[in-house]
Each structure stands twice: as C-alpha cells, then as structure tokens.
C-alpha cells in the first residue's frame, strides 16, 4: 500500500510504502542499505532478491537530499517512508536559447532509451566483447553501469540463451551466474568448454554460492575465475582485464605463424589442436580448399563463428591467417626444394602467380625469386 502527502510544515513530500510480508530482523536493520546484502529472513522467503533494491533507493534519495526511514516487524511487514525536500527553485536558462529549443530543435531531439539495448551496440566498436549470462535484472543493471564503458556487452537472461548467444557471437569473455532457470551455470560451463567453437573463451563465474564445494566444482568444469556476490567492482574489472591480457599473450603465440603448434601445457593444448587442424586443412593438397567458405564447411563452423574465434586466438581474420600459413609454407619450399616460383604458388593454393609474388613480398619484404637466389641451397 502506498501513501503520498505533504508534511504539516510543507517542507517535505512524504511517500509511505507498506507491505504485509515476512519483515526484517532487527539485527539486519543496520545493513539493509548495503549493496547485495540479504537479510537472514530472506532464507525463508519464496521470493528471491538480489539485495540491490534498497541500496539503489537510498543512493537516489541521498542524491535528492532527502531522507528514508524503515520500520519493520517480523511476521507483520515493513513500512518504508521517504521524505523528499520540496523546493520552488529551478536552474536559470537563457530565454532566447529556450525559445530556440521550443521552435526549432525539440522535434529533432531523439528519445533517450530507458533500457540498454545490447543488440544495437555498434558492430564497429573496438571494445572487447563481454557476454553476461544472468537472470537478475538488478544485477544486470549494475553490471552495465560498471562495465559498458569498457566492454561491448550482450546479455542473456538464462543459461539456455547464454549458450546460444555464446555459440553465435563468440565473445572475448563470458560472465556467468550459477543459479539460473532452464540451464544452470555448471551446464553452461560443460557445454561451452566442450564445444570446439567456444572452448577458448574465458568464463568467469559470478555467483552468490560462496561455499568451497561450489567453487571447486566450477573450477573442475573449466571456469577461469570465480567471484562471489557481493563483489567488488574494481576486483571484477581487474579479473576481466587480466583474462583479456592472457588472450593477448596467446595471440602473440599464434601470430608468429609457425607450421607446427604442439604443447603439453593444458592451458594451450586445445587451442594448439584447433590451430593445427586449420593449418593441416589449409596445406592439405587433397582437400584443396580455395577459401574461407570451404574451410568452414570442413570444420563445421559458420563464417562468423570461425572469424571471431580466429580473431580471439590469433588477432587475425581467417583469410589473413590462411594466406600467412600458405606463404610460410612457400618460404619453406623455396628454401628446401628446386621447384619454380610458379610451381610453388600453385602447390600452396595460389592460382595467380603475380598475386602470389605481391603477397610474398608484402609478407617477407622481398620477392620469391630474390629470396630463392639468396638462399645458400
């Protein structure tokens, strides 16, 4: 029930909200305005909360220089009273500018969006891509405030949608809750970490499950980091940045362009196997792929999926990586065989010898014939 009235002295607008819920324990009252804090009585409630509602109300009222008062009794309910200071003042505006706005400009001012439209984020954004899989709208709203200036965000409201979005979009990092409807965070981990399309993506679990068993279970299933709610904003940002830095280090490993990537390191073993498969298909004369589309068909990924994964692993597009691998192979053949430039160009998949010569010179700074003539062989 809600009441709105002006107090007797006319200084405050008073808004009073009452409920007949389970109430708040007296020992919880000093902490009810802390972000993510949930009182002890929340455990017996059939409704799940995030502990953000009252914190946001308090911060908003403080900005308006108002006051808030909470009264509660276990088993009977809670009364929230908000006092907002009345003023008869408004900021001064230039009357000429004001008139200009009324007559010429107002029709052209775009509406301010009331919600974050993650699907309309700029495709040209250079920000790293972060997929948030979280069913709580309050948590999502807070994460957007914390992260949208640093990351290109997309949101999935449950684990099922999260798996679909991750497979389609191939983000740089995933931030995932554990307790969600339809598909929980553990299943998300299993599906994505055992899918070749997505197994390279770092996944950070962000959850209220603070017990060691849950943490160990998530790490066993492949989680790259585990943060407990309530979380510290700076800690979250640092964890995400460090994982992104690790991706950059990995990109340097693959951007060096070798023809053989094998490692016993469990951190790079799956990625090495994927890159080695791409190299093998590219150089296999029996498969004879002519471009990216044929490669996608052979490995069972869409063009967008493969592009995003290759960018994440190597920093290069698929077509540039394929070309670099072929040129690296051409260089080896020039060093170790007596074949002509034309023969080598055709062997590695170039149908146009002139184009092969230009690409070779761009990659190694000299033409194939010059390189071959300098070779001591």
Tens-binned pLDDT, residue by residue, of the chain (377 aa): 566 666 656 678 888 899 888 888 888 888 888 766 666 655 544 445 566 678 778 888 888 888 898 998 888 889 999 888 877 766 555 544 444 334 333 333 333 333 344 444 444 568 999 999 999 998 999 999 999 999 999 999 999 999 999 999 999 999 999 999 889 999 999 999 999 899 999 999 999 888 899 999 999 999 999 999 888 899 999 999 999 998 888 888 887 777 777 766 777 788 888 999 999 998 887 666 778 999 999 999 999 999 999 998 998 999 999 999 999 999 999 999 999 999 999 988 888 999 999 999 999 999 999 988 876 55
Strands 77-85 and 12-18: antiparallel
**Could you read off the pLDDT of 22-58 as tens digits, one per residue?**
888 888 888 888 766 666 655 544 445 566 678 778 8
**How much is the pTM?**
0.64
Q: What is the pLDDT of residue 92?
A: 58
Q: What is the pLDDT of residue 117?
A: 43
Q: Which of 353, 352, 357 is nearest to 372 (CA)?
A: 357
Determine the Cα–Cα distance for residues 208 and 179; give it in Å rounded to an integer. 8
Determine the Cα–Cα distance for residues 360 and 330; give it in Å rounded to an integer. 9
Q: What is the pLDDT of residue 116?
A: 42
Task: Give the Å distances, CA to CA, from 323 to 33, 330, 340, 359.
Answer: 58, 10, 19, 8
Q: What is the pLDDT of residue 6?
A: 61
**C-beta of residue 162 within 8 angstroms of C-beta of residue 140:** no
Q: What is the pLDDT of residue 95?
A: 47
Buried b (16+ CB within 10 A) or exposed e, 107-133: eeeeeeeeeeebeebeeeeeebbbbbb
Q: What is the pLDDT of residue 344?
A: 93
**C-beta of residue 349 within 8 angstroms of C-beta of residue 326:** yes
Q: What is the pLDDT of residue 234?
A: 93
Q: Which two tokens stand for residue 109?
A: 């001012």
Domains along the chain with CATH numbers: 2-85 (3.30.565.10), 118-250 (3.40.50.2300), 269-374 (1.10.10.60)
Q: What is the pLDDT of residue 121?
A: 45
Q: What is the pLDDT of residue 376?
A: 53
Q: Which long-range contacts (CB under 8 A, 24 or more apart) does 47-50 make?
A: 50/136, 50/138, 50/139, 50/229
**C-beta of residue 162 within 8 angstroms of C-beta of residue 179:** no
């Amino acid at each position: 029930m809600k009441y709105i009235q002006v107090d007797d002295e006319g200084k405050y607008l008073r808004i009073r909200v009452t409920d007949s819920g389970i109430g708040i324990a007296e020992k919880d009252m000093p902490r009810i305005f802390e972000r993510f804090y949930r009182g002890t009585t929340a455990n017996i409630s059939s409704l799940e909360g995030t502990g953000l509602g009252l914190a946001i109300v308090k911060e908003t009222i403080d900005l308006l220089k108002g006051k808030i008062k909470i009264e509660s009794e276990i088993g009977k309910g809670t009364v929230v009273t908000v006092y907002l200071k009345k003023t008869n003042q408004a900021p001064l505006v230039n009357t000429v500018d004001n008139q200009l706005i009324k007559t010429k400009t107002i029709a052209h001012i775009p509406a301010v969006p009331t919600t974050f439209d993650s699907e309309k984020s700029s495709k040209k954004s250079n920000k790293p891509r972060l997929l948030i899989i979280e069913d709580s709208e309050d948590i999502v709203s807070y994460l957007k405030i914390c992260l949208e200036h640093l990351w290109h965000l997309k949101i999935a409201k449950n684990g099922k949608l999260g798996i679909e979005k991750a497979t389609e979009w191939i983000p740089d990092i995933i931030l995932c809750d554990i307790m969600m409807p339809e598909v929980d965070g553990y299943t998300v981990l299993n599906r994505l970490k055992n899918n070749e399309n997505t197994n390279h993506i770092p996944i950070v679990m962000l959850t209220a499950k603070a017990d060691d068993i849950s943490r160990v279970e998530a790490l066993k299933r492949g989680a790259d980091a585990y943060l407990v709610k309530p979380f510290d904003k700076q800690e979250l940002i640092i964890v995400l940045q460090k994982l992104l830095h690790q991706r950059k280090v990995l990109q340097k490993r693959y951007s060096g362009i070798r023809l053989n990537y094998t490692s016993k390191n469990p951190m790079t073993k799956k990625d090495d196997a994927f890159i080695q498969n791409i190299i093998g298909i590219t150089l296999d004369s029996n498969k004879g792929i002519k471009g990216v589309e044929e490669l996608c068909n052979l490995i069972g990924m869409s063009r967008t999926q493969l592009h995003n994964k290759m960018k994440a692993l190597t920093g290069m597009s698929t077509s540039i990586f394929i070309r670099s691998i072929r040129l690296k192979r051409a260089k080896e053949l020039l060093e170790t065989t007596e074949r002509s430039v034309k023969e080598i160009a055709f062997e590695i998949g170039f149908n146009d010898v002139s184009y092969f010569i230009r690409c070779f010179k761009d990659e190694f700074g000299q033409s194939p014939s010059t390189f071959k003539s300098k070779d001591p062989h």
